[in-house]
């Protein structure tokens, strides 16, 4: 690690939004050649601070120094000219444009489409993040969009690289490759500010860590000298809970897919080929896979967003493959999609109205008239059950943090006492405290007799809560096997399609 003047130094950085103090007199220094972690729960102030560094937000008070010189970073363009690059957790992509067009918008000078496409292919191949530059963003999954953000940033060869939750798209092997790259960049003098909720990553990668809580710096440490429990206590002020997970007692098959074939929904999609799946009452089945291998198509086929032949999908023994979303919900299906805003919830609607969207058939609408009192009461119950930080049932969904909105969506679906719950990326971008609550809720629902299917790229999550795990690769699903019969390394190899992998 290089000593001397920090590459970036923050002194007394403060940012207020009305009565809320998002950043309160924050001091932070990141040196050339250092990989520095920024830790904190959702709402601790990490995102606001990173946006200030990248020029998206202006601070109300405080000083930024770049290589010892006071600077004002008034825009992302200013940040890029200094040599700051950022990988956003919440994507800043235009869905109607191609990958190459989105990346070109971040270039400060004219960029040749052919040359830029070649650069994108080269960088994405070098870092194990496959991208087609001509693909339209609206056809991409959450994980694939994250790849665009990472590659766009790496193309800038930044002096300071800010990375916000960059690894949810990657297999364990690809994570190791990315870490090797980051270590090489640091050895060459690049400063890296690394934001992640994965404490094992922080301990394996980072030289120092600064901890934020309620907008303030509460500590600094060498994460390599800490264990995960001590880091968690620094972040949340208490021990990290772990799901209480007794042995599964599976019952009858509640969700089944039989010889499920489904063509790709767009030119860049992945067709499903001969998918067989069983999820029984009282168990959690996890599906692992790298984004773009058919997860989007499988979720669409199981949820009813896309229909197929009747016997291709069954709920509690009844063929529902030809039925749409509402009809499958009446058969006992609940669904938590991977996109919180826009799919799981309508940002501009209140939590009460968002409750109504998926539970209108459960006594909230009688003879065409909405029972507003019952709807608000149900939303209030969901807020209380999952300790959602919200002003109440009339709060707009867009005012909630990502973790709190995710908890609300899950509570809304679980209130319906479903026979089957499908959850896609249930803790993506959610802090460790909220993740623990969500995972415990999924285990509790399993223990209540529901069949739970979790589609996730977080192998730690799947091994923590799942009873059986299957792998989806190139539109084909491996047989689900007990978690006791495999390990993350084998699953990671199967996700990457490695021959001889032991996960299937």
Q: Which 3 state secondary structure label does DSSP give 8?
A: strand
Q: Where are the beta strands (DSSP E) in 75-171?
A: 84-87, 160-164
pLDDT at 169 over 50: yes
Average pLDDT estimate for 460-473: 92
Average pLDDT estimate for 118-132: 85
Question: pLDDT confidence of 391, banded at 50, 70, 90?
Answer: confident
- Tell me the pLDDT tens digit for each residue of 316-325: 999 999 999 9
pLDDT of res. 466: 95
Whether 160 and 30 have beta carbons less than 8 Å apart is answered as yes
pLDDT of res. 265: 79
Q: Which two tokens stand for residue 250?
A: 């599976």
Chain centroid to Cα 6, Å, comes to 31
- Tell me the pLDDT tens digit for each residue of 71-96: 999 999 999 999 999 887 667 788 88
pLDDT at 42 over 80: no
Whether 350 and 393 have beta carbons less than 8 Å apart is answered as yes
Say if strands 468-473 and 420-424 run parallel, antiparallel, or are unpaired: unpaired
Delineate the domains of the chain, giving CATH numbers in brackets: 8-236 (3.40.50.300), 253-332+418-495 (3.40.50.300)
User: Exposed, middle or buried: residue 45 (CB in 10 Å: 0-12, 13-18, 19+)?
Assistant: buried
Say if strands 313-315 and 253-262 run parallel, antiparallel, or are unpaired: antiparallel
- Tell me the pLDDT tens digit for each residue of 410-430: 999 998 899 999 999 898 767
The residue to which tokens 């979303």 are assigned: 325
H or E element at residue 354: helix 351-359
User: Of 91-95, 307-311, 401-405, which has the strongest mean pLDDT?
Assistant: 307-311
| Alpha-helical runs (H) found in 127-275 | 142-154, 172-187, 199-205, 228-236
Question: pLDDT confidence of 170, banded at 50, 70, 90?
Answer: low
Report d(CA 157, CA 30) in Å as an integer. 17
Report d(CA 52, CA 1) in Å as an integer. 25
- Give the residue with greater pLDDT, 399 vs 8: 8
Q: What are phi and psi of 389, to 5 degrees?
A: -80, 100
- Give the residue with greater pLDDT, 173 vs 123: 123
Rounded to the nearest integer, the mean pLDDT of the chain is 87
- Tell me the pLDDT tens digit for each residue of 2-38: 456 899 999 999 999 888 789 999 999 999 999 999 9
pLDDT of res. 176: 81
Q: Which 3 state secondary structure label does DSSP give 337?
A: coil
Cross-strand partners of 335:
422
pLDDT at 499 over 50: no
Q: What is the pTM of this model?
A: 0.73
pLDDT of res. 419: 97
Question: pLDDT confidence of 240, banded at 50, 70, 90?
Answer: low
Question: pLDDT confidence of 65, banded at 50, 70, 90?
Answer: very high
Report d(CA 479, CA 477) in Å as an integer. 7
The contacts found for 239-247 with CB under 8 angstroms, 24 or more apart, are: 240/432, 240/433, 240/436, 241/436, 241/437, 241/440, 242/436, 242/464, 243/436, 243/439, 243/440, 243/442, 243/443, 243/464, 243/465, 244/440, 244/443, 245/443, 245/464, 245/465, 246/447
pLDDT at 500 over 50: no
pLDDT of res. 231: 85
């Amino acid at each position: 690690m290089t000593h001397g003047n920090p590459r970036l130094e923050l002194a007394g950085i403060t940012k207020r939004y009305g009565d809320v103090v998002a950043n309160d007199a924050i001091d932070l220094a990141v040196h050339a050649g250092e990989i520095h972690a920024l830790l904190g729960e959702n709402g601790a102030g990490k995102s606001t601070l990173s946006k200030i560094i990248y020029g998206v937000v202006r601070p109300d008070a405080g000083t930024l120094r770049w290589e010892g010189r006071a600077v004002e970073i008034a825009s992302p363009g200013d940040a890029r000219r200094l040599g700051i690059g950022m990988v956003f957790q919440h994507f800043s992509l235009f869905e109607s444009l191609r990958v190459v067009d989105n990346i070109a918008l971040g270039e400060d000078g004219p960029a040749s489409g052919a040359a830029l496409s070649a650069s994108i292919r080269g960088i994405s191949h070098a870092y194990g993040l496959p991208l087609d530059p001509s693909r339209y963003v609206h056809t991409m999954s959450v994980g694939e969009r994250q790849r665009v953000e990472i590659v766009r940033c790496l193309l800038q060869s930044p002096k300071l690289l800010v990375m916000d939750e960059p690894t949810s798209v990657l297999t364990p092997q690809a994570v190791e490759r990315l870490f090797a790259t980051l270590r090489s960049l640091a050895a060459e003098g690049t400063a890296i500010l690394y934001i992640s909720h994965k404490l094992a990553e922080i301990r394996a990668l980072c030289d120092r860590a600064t901890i934020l809580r309620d907008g303030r710096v509460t500590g600094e440490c060498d994460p390599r000298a800490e264990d995960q429990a001590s880091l968690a206590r620094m972040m949340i002020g208490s021990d990290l809970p772990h799901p209480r997970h007794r042995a599964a007692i599976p019952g009858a098959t509640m969700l089944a897919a039989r010889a499920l074939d489904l063509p790709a929904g767009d030119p860049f999609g992945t067709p499903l080929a001969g998918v067989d799946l069983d999820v029984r009452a009282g168990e959690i089945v996890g599906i692992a896979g790298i984004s773009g291998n058919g997860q989007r198509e499988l979720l669409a086929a199981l949820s009813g967003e896309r229909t197929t032949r009747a016997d291709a999908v069954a709920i509690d023994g009844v063929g529902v493959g030809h039925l749409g979303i509402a009809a499958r919900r009446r058969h006992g299906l609940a669904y938590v999609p991977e996109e919180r805003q826009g799919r799981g919830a309508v940002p501009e609607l209140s939590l009460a109205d968002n409750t109504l969207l998926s539970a209108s058939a459960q006594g909230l609408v009688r003879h065409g008239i909405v029972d507003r009192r019952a709807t608000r009461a149900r939303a209030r119950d969901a807020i209380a059950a999952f300790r959602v930080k919200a002003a109440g049932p009339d709060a707009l969904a867009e005012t909630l943090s990502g973790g709190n909105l995710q908890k609300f969506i899950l509570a809304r679906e679980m209130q319906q006492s479903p026979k089957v719950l499908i959850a896609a990326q249930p803790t993506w971008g959610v802090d460790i405290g909220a993740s623990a609550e969500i995972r415990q809720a999924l285990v509790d629902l399993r223990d209540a007799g529901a069949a739970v299917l979790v589609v996730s790229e977080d192998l730690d999550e799947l091994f923590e809560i799942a009873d059986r795990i299957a792998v989806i690769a190139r539109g084909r699903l491996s047989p689900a096997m007990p978690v006791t019969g495999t390990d993350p390394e084998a699953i990671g190899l199967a996700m990457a399609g490695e021959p001889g992998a032991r996960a299937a």
